[in-house]
Amino acid sequence: MRTLKSILLLIIIIAATIFIFQNMETVSLKFIIWQLEIPLSAASILLYVLGAVSGGLIFSMLKKLAIENKSRN
């Protein structure tokens, strides 16, 4: 099982490396008054991380609410 996990991790790292090198063109990101020009691959990774963090926060808040509701009943 450990070997399978290592192989999958290696495949993900190789795919991510290929993605980064194939998407080096610059994109312009704008939000209210901020503007940022970064490579497309960096923008994609940044958005992925922000989505993972916000999803984790929402999940933990919902879990906490469920535990509080369960303890009240």
Question: Tens digits of per-residue pLDDT, 44-53?
Answer: 888 889 999 9
pLDDT at 20 over 80: yes
pLDDT value for 53: 96
The model carries a pTM of 0.64
Mean pLDDT of the chain: 89
The pLDDT-based confidence of 26 (bands split at 50, 70, 90) is: very high
For residue range 2-14, list pLDDT tens digits in order.
899 999 999 999 9
DSSP calls for 5-71: HHHHHHHHHHHHHHHHHH--SEEEEEETTEEEEEEHHHHHHHHHHHHHHHHHHHHHHHHHHHHHHHH
Cβ pair 40, 28 in contact under 8 A: no
